[in-house]
Amino acid sequence: MIKRLPSIKKLLITLAKIAGVFFILGIVSYFSFRNLILHKVIEKISEKSAREFDAVFTVKEASFTGISTIELHQISLKPKQHDSLLYVNKLITGVQPLYALFLDIRLSKLELHSGYINIINNDNGSNLSGFFKGKDTTVKAQEKNGEQQSNLAKKGYQLISKVLNFIPDDVQLHNVALRFQDQKQFVVFQMQQFTLTDNQLKSSIHVMEAKDSLSNICFIQDWLIKGYANPGKRKADVSFFNTDTGKVLLPYVKEKFNLSTGFDSIRLKLDGVVINDGVLNISGLASTVNFLVSHPKISGKEVVVEHAEFKYDFVIGANFIGMDSSSWFTLNKIKVQPFAKYQRGPDTTVQFCVVIPKTTAQDFISSLPEGLFNHFKGMEAEGSFTYRLDFLYNENRPKDLVFESSLQKEGLRIIKYGEANLSKLNSDFVYHPIENGRPQRAIEVSYTSPTFVPLDMISPWLKKSVLTTEDPSFFYHRGFIDEAFRQSIIKNIRKKKFARGASTISMQLIKNVFLTREKTLSRKLEEILLVYILENNRLSSKERMFEVYLNIIEWGPNVYGIGEAARFYFNKSANELTLSEALFLAVIIPSPKKFMWRFGKDGYLKDHVGRHFHSLAGLMIRRNVLSTEDTIGLNHRFPIIGPAKSFIKITADTLPNDTIIIDENGLILSGDEE
């Protein structure tokens, strides 16, 4: 054995020499052929651009300037039949050799001088269209059937790692622009300077918007982005704000979507991207100061959120994406703890839970965003509450949908009302209907008014009919019906559109008396909160609420309240209405101005309206609201003898979509479909 040692040593030396020779040859080959290889790579990119994207990719000059540094000049990408998409005058980059040995390409630096990305969408089409081709229908079908589904956590981590690893530690961008043209609207983001050195990021951006031509400038701002960024460690803490004291305002969206939005500053913080036991966690924080948004569908006024902060912890598994319950969101002084999860198999489910931990009522009211809850301004309250909302939807078992809402209060009481003084329901007041944003004639809600009808003087048939079509459990609920919400969600998901609402009489009363009919998010949110306050603090009796409701709702063109409606259609008082007449008045509540289209050429209600009458009567019998004897003589062929007769037109045998329909659960599909 001792004699063999010299031979082994000699062999090792020989192998080392051979390896050295190959290493030297590799280095010589690398320096001899690297430029040739570089041009071959560029040539392949050019061929692929022409073949797959119908675009011309060119690089005027390309060469190595150091061991691993590449310098490119006059890079361009131009789709055929369109303007150039990309141009770079000079690009210098390099790879990290150690990672390259393991085929992990990581850039060591990136330096770019004078360039632009030019996105155009005009009458000639988009210069991006050729780069977005639809996925093969066979692949789509396989994915739909659950075949070849990828591991979401693994794919997500690979994608994030690929992007972050590609960002070098040293980045220098000078005079680089993103130009965007949508028809005759132009937006330019001119990055005058972008640096990422020693994990410190700083960028100044000159923003310009123009109409019709680039010379017709209508908006100019200068933005600044700076902070800490370490792509390798998956950490960042960056702030975004205006260089002066004004807000950052977003261009383009105002002209395109009639949306104005901006903020004083935004902070984006990434704490980590980690995968453990097949689960990917992405955690961090996002916050904004004085966020502003204005849109006609949101509110008639600008909505301002003074401070909002989102501590996020996203969780991605093999077949699910979710937000962990450790996440939280604050809106001024309101704290919300959300949980959400989407799972794609074996059953596709959507689940979320929203919890508001114990919060004082005054902190909640004072934290409501300005412009979104205008009627709460000046309101004062005492006490506290906690709130929880649970939702679960299983695509394979839609009827098992879970929608549960609970609120626990401690000494909750309104001390002072804001603009919406709910206590006025208990006294005389003047109601001003709003039509298309314009106030109509005043309606006096008072026992001294000749058109006001006390509740006990209204036909019991009318009261029963309206309750059946609008809100069967009005006298038992506290403003909302969880089951109605649940059924509405199921129907809307099944129809894949907003096909059914879940409005109660309480909600309609609040909307009419204190708010407006504008279809905005602001109005709906205020409606929900005001209804809760009204119903859960017993500020008015159910009887009084129903009485006011019947005396103010619209029942025809310039017809308000049951007193006017009974005279307008039948020339009689409200206590004289028959069951047939009451059912007619209940049916037309959703769209009273279209009542005439329910009549045929003979001046009587059409036969299918009669079938609805009998369906409603049958439902009322099943609910013990009517007896079978009550429906003897029920007939839709009764005369209209009041002033409404002059409105009845000769129509085709069709009925608008606002007809009363009873669903399979015995619920009425009518009322406020918002």
DSSP per residue over 454-506, as a string?
A: -GGGS-HHHHHHHHHHH-TTTTTSSS--HHHHHHHHHHHHHHTS-------HH
Over the stretch 416-459, which tens digit does the pLDDT of each residue have?
A: 887 788 888 888 989 888 877 777 888 899 999 999 999 999 99
Asked whether residue 253 is assigned to any structural domain, the reply reads no
Over the stretch 144-201, which tens digit does the pLDDT of each residue have?
A: 454 456 888 999 988 888 888 778 888 899 999 999 888 889 999 999 899 999 999 9
Instruction: Yes or no: say if 355 and 393 are a contact pair by the CB < 8 Å rule.
Output: no
Q: Flag whether pLDDT at 411 surpasses 60.
A: yes
Asked whether residue 525 is assigned to any structural domain, the reply reads yes
Asked whether residue 523 is assigned to any structural domain, the reply reads yes
Nearest Cα to Cα of residue 498 among 659, 673, 296, 298 = 673
DSSP per residue over 84-151, as a string?
A: -SEEEEEEEEEE-HHHHTTT---EEEEEEEEEEEEEEEETTEETTGGG--PPPHHHHHHHHTTTT---
Nearest Cα to Cα of residue 595 among 650, 647, 661, 637 = 647
Asked whether residue 474 is assigned to any structural domain, the reply reads yes
Q: Judge if the upstream peptide bond of residue 346 is cis by omega within 30 degrees of 0.
A: yes
Local structure of 222: helix, strand or coil: strand
Using the structure block, give the residue that is written with the tokens 């603090």: 537
Instruction: Yes or no: say if 650 and 601 are a contact pair by the CB < 8 Å rule.
Output: yes
pLDDT at 306: 92
Nearest Cα to Cα of residue 663 among 469, 480, 474, 478 = 469
Q: Flag whether pLDDT at 74 surpasses 60.
A: yes
399 compared with 500, residue with greater pLDDT:
399
For the record, the structure tokens of 644 come out as 């409404």
Report the range of poorest mean pLDDT among 103-117, 272-286, 395-409, 491-505. Answer: 491-505
Asked whether residue 336 is assigned to any structural domain, the reply reads no
pLDDT at 610: 83
Over the stretch 292-347, which tens digit does the pLDDT of each residue have?
A: 999 888 888 889 999 999 999 999 999 999 999 999 999 999 999 999 999 987 88
Q: Flag whether pLDDT at 20 surpasses 70.
A: no
Residue 596: what are its φ and ψ, rounded to 5°?
Answer: -65, -25
For the record, the structure tokens of 656 come out as 């608008």
Nearest Cα to Cα of residue 78 among 104, 108, 123, 117 = 117
**Domain range spanning residue 433?**
422-647
Q: What is the mean pLDDT of residues 379-396?
A: 88
Number of domains composing the chain: 1
Confidence band, pLDDT 50/70/90 cuts, at residue 44? confident
Pinpoint the alpha helices (H) of 553-606: 561-570, 579-587
pLDDT at 102: 45
**Where residue 457 sits, what CATH number does that domain have?**
1.10.3810.10
pLDDT at 298: 87
Q: What angle do CA 4, 7, 13 make, to 5 degrees?
A: 145
Asked whether residue 135 is assigned to any structural domain, the reply reads no
* 234: CB partners within 8 A, 6+ apart: 160, 164, 270, 272, 273, 274
Asked whether residue 623 is assigned to any structural domain, the reply reads yes
Asked whether residue 372 is assigned to any structural domain, the reply reads no
Helix 561-570, helix 542-552: angle, nearest 10? 40
Instruction: Yes or no: say if 505 and 470 are a contact pair by the CB < 8 Å rule.
Output: yes
**Residues 651, 159: Cα–Cα separation, whole Å:** 61
Over the stretch 75-132, which tens digit does the pLDDT of each residue have?
A: 898 888 888 888 999 988 876 655 444 445 567 788 899 999 999 888 888 888 877 7
603 compared with 27, residue with greater pLDDT:
603
Q: Flag whether pLDDT at 21 surpasses 70.
A: no
**Residues 288, 308: Cα–Cα separation, whole Å:** 6
Over the stretch 634-661, which tens digit does the pLDDT of each residue have?
A: 888 888 888 988 888 644 444 444 444 4
* 17: CB partners within 8 A, 6+ apart: none
598 compared with 548, residue with greater pLDDT:
548
pLDDT at 657: 41
